[in-house]
Chain A
């Protein structure tokens, strides 16, 4: 029988949650890397026992950990994230130039077909690649050195490259998203990049439909239709049907179109999930009711999913990398909260149950469907 492994990164360590395909009884291991912030963990699609973890702390900076046995043991690998050349400046919060400074790895994206190849999205925004299992890292500087780079500015969480999507059909194509610069596409394996933000409208920047400057929170793709992208922006839920060349809004009847994560059902490419959050200042669900919203029509028409989720006095947030799906026949949906809960829905969102309730604040959730 297939199994599920949920990789949970928190403010104070990592946890691995395991279950069989029924997803009703869970083994919890952790905390791994106790006391450190685990911004992200992800398994290789090419080797389910190869895992990567981004471990960081205010004291001691960045460490990258690798497991070759599905998380039973870990070893620190390379942590030299030196920008190529002279990094230059981006905009600081107040609009003044600020030197590019490495802070942490937000997201690790293993290659679709090589367990030793992995990409890292970092703060201040840059994209790195390792081809030796994380032992050494080289920047793909074409993104950071795009001529719009000096105008990028930090979002509230820092100027982070938080989303990396590898196109399963066109191996030379990849997407990246930066807060607050926007979405970018490369058609030459990361050497050069094109801003793909046409159709985005953002208050808070001088030109609301500028080429860059948008605070994209997350982008999701279904692997069967890599030209279709779904985006949760600072405000607005958006969709592109042409690999980012143009976007249109699909917020429809959502109670608020602010939020962080967005994901797509494993078997239904038109079924999309978001977690509406009250506002940019009020990072909690509307009315104290934690509800995931599902669209089965690719957007615009959304239904609230609340069975099993707290419907009063709930004031948690769900961060951008803290939602994931499994690929079992009945697709499972998972998300973690700043209150330390990790919820699972084994029936595509119809009902929910907590796997754990009292972890440190959850920064990221990834799911492996084990064979």
Chain B
């Protein structure tokens, strides 16, 4: 299972307590994880990625394994530890956005 951590304001919106655990088939990439997340919680559509372009919203960042993945291509594989479920994929509200 892929573990995803959301910022507090999106956990409230989607009525999520704690981590989200997702079953993702195929390659484990940022795109496949985000699509699985939005399929399970459709109210998050448009709040992490722009609805029209699919691009990361300017004040949202993606981190994992102490790396900033925000500018990686969406179809690049996520770190093995994220794919194995030992490390979470972090969706973070940027400092400047609030």
Of the candidates A63, A80, A81, the one whose C-beta lies within 8 Å of that of B43 is A63
Report B-chain residues with C-beta under 8 Å of the C-beta of A246.
none
- Is B26's CB within 8 Å of the partner chain A? no
Given contacts A79-B51, A80-B51, A82-B51, A57 and B43 within 8 Å (CB-CB): no
Evaluate contact between A63 and B47: CB separation under 8 angstroms.
yes
Report B-chain residues with C-beta under 8 Å of the C-beta of A102.
52
CB nearest to B50 among chain A residues: A61
B93 to chain A, nearest CB (A): 5
Report A-chain residues with C-beta under 8 Å of the C-beta of B48.
60
How many A residues have CB within 8 A of the partner chain?
A: 16
- Is B67's CB within 8 Å of the partner chain A? no
Q: How far is the CA of A57 from the CA of B44 in the complex (A)?
A: 13
Q: How far is the CA of A60 from the CA of B47 in the complex (A)?
A: 4
Of the candidates A34, A61, A81, A82, the one whose C-beta lies within 8 Å of that of B47 is A61
- Is A58's CB within 8 Å of the partner chain B? yes
Classify the interface of chain B: helix, strand, loop or mixed.
Answer: loop
- Is B21's CB within 8 Å of the partner chain A? no
B15 to chain A, nearest CB (A): 10
Of the candidates B52, B57, B96, the one whose C-beta lies within 8 Å of that of A60 is B57
Q: How far is the CA of A58 from the CA of B93 in the complex (A)?
A: 9
Q: How many A-B residue pairs have CB under 8 A?
A: 55
- Is A35's CB within 8 Å of the partner chain B? yes
Report A-chain residues with C-beta under 8 Å of the C-beta of B10.
60
Of the candidates B12, B43, B50, B98, the one whose C-beta lies within 8 Å of that of A59 is B98
Interface residues as binary, B13-48 with A (CB distance below 8 Å gives 1, 0 otherwise): 100000000000000000000000000000101111
A66 to chain B, nearest CB (A): 12
Evaluate contact between A59 and B45: CB separation under 8 angstroms.
no
B59 to chain A, nearest CB (A): 5
Evaluate contact between B46 and A57: CB separation under 8 angstroms.
no
Report A-chain residues with C-beta under 8 Å of the C-beta of B47.
59-61, 63, 79
Pick the 6 closest A-B CB pairs, nearest first.
A60-B47, A59-B97, A76-B43, A58-B97, A59-B93, A59-B59
Residues of A near any B CB (own CB < 8 A) = 34-36, 57-63, 76, 79-82, 102
Residues of B near any A CB (own CB < 8 A) = 7-10, 12-13, 43, 45-48, 50-52, 57, 59-60, 93-94, 96-98
20 new A-B contacts, CB < 8 A, other than A57-B98, A60-B59, are A35-B8, A35-B9, A35-B98, A36-B9, A57-B9, A58-B59, A59-B59, A60-B9, A60-B48, A60-B57, A60-B60, A61-B47, A61-B50, A61-B57, A63-B46, A80-B45, A80-B46, A82-B51, A82-B52, A102-B52
Chosen A-B contacts, 13 in total, with CB atoms closer than 8 Å, are A57-B9, A59-B47, A59-B94, A60-B9, A60-B10, A60-B13, A60-B48, A60-B93, A61-B47, A63-B47, A79-B45, A79-B46, A82-B52
